[in-house]
Structure 1
Amino acid sequence: MASFGTLKLRKITWSELFYDTLELAKKIAFAGFHPELLVVVARGGLVVGRLLSDFLSIRRIANVSVRLYEGIGTAAKEPILEGSINSDEVQGKPVLVVDDIVDSGTTLSFVLKYISAHNPGEVRSAALYVKPWAKTRPDFFVRVIEEWAVFPYEIRETLESIPNEYRSLLGIDSKVIEDIKNIVENSKR
Structure 2
Amino acid sequence: MSDLPDDFDCTITNWEYIYGLCRTVSNEVKRAEFEPDVVVALARGGWFAGRCTCDFLGLDDLTSLKMEHYVGAGIKSDEPQVRYPMPEGSVEGKDVLVIDDIADTGGSIRRAHEYVEERGAAEIRTATLQLLQTSEFEPDFVGERLEEWTWVVYPWNFIEDMIDLTSGAMDQAEMTTFDRESIRHYLDEFHGIDRIAMEIAQPSRLDEVLAEMERRGVVEPVETDGDDEWQLAK
Q: TM-score band, normalised by the shorter chain? A: 0.7 to 0.9
1:174 counterpart = 2:206 = yes
Name the CA distance, whole Å, in 1 between partners of 2:59 and 2:126: 15
Pairwise CA distance, 1:182 = 5.5
> 5+ residue gaps in structure 2?
71-75, 171-182, 218-234
Per the alignment, residue 164 of structure 2 pairs with: 161
Name the CA distance, whole Å, in 1 between partners of 2:215 and 2:58: 35
What TM-score results when the alignment is normalised by the length of structure 1?
Answer: 0.84
Pairwise CA distance, 1:181 = 3.0
Pairwise CA distance, 1:122 = 0.4
Per the alignment, residue 66 of structure 2 pairs with: 65
Q: Is the 8 A contact 1:159 1:167 kept in 2?
A: no
Superposed, which structure 2 residues align to 1:1-189 within 5 Å?
5-68=6-69, 77-145=78-146, 146-162=149-165, 163=168, 164=170, 165=183, 166-167=186-187, 169=193, 171=198, 173-181=205-213, 184=216
Q: Is the 8 A contact 1:95 1:123 kept in 2?
A: yes
Name the CA distance, whole Å, in 1 between partners of 2:215 and 2:67: 26
Residue aligned with 1:153, SS? helix
Name the CA distance, whole Å, in 2 between partners of 1:78 and 1:118: 19
Q: How has the CA–CA distance of structure 1 residues 36 and 65 changed in structure 2, closer, same or farther, with 3 Å as cutoff? A: same
Per the alignment, residue 230 of structure 2 pairs with: none
Name the CA distance, whole Å, in 2 between partners of 1:152 and 1:28: 24
Counterpart code for 2:207: K
What TM-score results when the alignment is normalised by the length of structure 2?
Answer: 0.69
Q: Is the 8 A contact 2:93 2:121 kept in 1?
A: yes
The count of corresponding residues between Structure 1 and Structure 2 is 177
Larger radius of gyration: 2
Name the CA distance, whole Å, in 1 between partners of 2:215 and 2:18: 25
**Which region of structure 1 is more displaced relative to structure 2, 162-171 or 76-85?**
162-171
Counterpart code for 1:32: E
Pairwise CA distance, 1:29 = 1.1
Residue aligned with 1:58, SS? coil
Name the CA distance, whole Å, in 2 between partners of 1:183 and 1:141: 38
Identity of paired residues, percent?
23
Name the CA distance, whole Å, in 1 between partners of 2:97 and 2:139: 10
Q: Is the 8 A contact 1:48 1:100 kept in 2?
A: yes
> 5+ residue gaps in structure 1?
70-74
Residue aligned with 2:125, SS? strand
Residue aligned with 1:93, SS? coil
RMSD of aligned alpha carbons: 2.1
**Which of structures 1 and 2 has the larger relative contact order (alpha carbons within 8 angstroms, sep 6+)?**
1
Per the alignment, residue 72 of structure 1 pairs with: none
Name the CA distance, whole Å, in 2 between partners of 1:14 and 1:87: 34
